[in-house]
Amino acid sequence: MLSSLVLNGQSPATDHSNLMTPWWSFTKTVLAATALTLVRDGLVRLDDPVPDQPFSLRQLLRHEAGLADYSELADYHAAVANHQAAWSADEMMQRLDGKRLRYSPGSGWRYSNVGYLLVGRLIERVTDLSLEDAVNQRVLSALGLSNVRFAKTRNDVQDTHSASRSNYDPGWVYHGLLIGPLSQAALLLDRLLAGHLLPTDLLEEMQSTKTLGGPIPGRPWVKPGYGLGLMQGSIEGGYTLSGHTGCGPGSVIAVYRVSDGDASVCCAGFEAGASEGAVEAYVVRSLIQALQGADAQPRNLK
């Protein structure tokens, strides 16, 4: 297991987790933060309809827009397993019948990568920038991060740490796949939730969650929920866990933050060949040990 821990907002003193890793669905948190900077700057509103669509940005970010997800397509999984080149976004949407809503926006919940494809397109439309440039300017540079980028080719993914030995095409992640060091993922989430990017009211909106039931077998969640690009809910010990888990062919990443009074700790964990629950459990143990251990010095775990 490779992980990076940030205590009380301080960067790791040493970096044993500087190898590039795929951020998988933690990319959604970064896209959500980018979209919320548009709200911060008065360029869009959370609850206005997205142009030419019947749902709002809030509903897209919280998976309440009524959209389906291409992960339900058997042909998608077969194509990925056979190392095929990614379909175009138009072909994916046609195969999925992706423009057809599965429920009325706001009336249900369904995890949808398609929703975040539309978030990315909205960011590009409003900023008149490529998604990569918008994310770099509005989030990565603003939070002082470096060496984080979008994977564009198979080689980009194969060059990451133990991430893929299967010649994976990152085009299969239609909203984009960020890759970067674990230390940067931990710093990004810590600085974001500490208020270094968004005003207090928008941070509160980001962490306003839809509760998604009770405990999940094999995972640390007691009361899971989903906010605006954040998986958030309660875990044992009375703590609230905020961040995101992501998985792709061959690996899992989990990036989470908890706080207790004035103390805060953020941990990013990554492992090849592991389950989501296993990596989440490791991250949770690391977070709680750091909070309870009074070890005020930032450290890395490996």
243: exposed, middle or buried (Cβ count in 10 Å: 0-12, 13-18, 19+): buried
Split into its structural domains, the chain has a count of 1
CATH of the domain at 146: 3.40.710.10
Nearest to 164 by CA among 2, 277, 273, 3: 273
Nearest to 21 by CA among 288, 255, 266, 258: 255
Query: pLDDT tens digits for 186-229?
Result: 999 999 999 999 999 999 999 999 999 999 999 999 999 999 99
- Give the end-to-end CA distance of the chain in Å, rounded to a whole number: 6
What residues in the chain have per-residue pLDDT under 50?
13-14, 16, 164, 294-302
294: exposed, middle or buried (Cβ count in 10 Å: 0-12, 13-18, 19+): exposed
pLDDT number for residue 300: 39
| pTM (whole model) above 0.85 | yes
Place of tokens 């009325």: 104
Domain that holds residue 117: 2-301
pLDDT number for residue 160: 81
pLDDT number for residue 17: 57
Distance CA 13, CA 228 (A): 31
pLDDT number for residue 250: 85
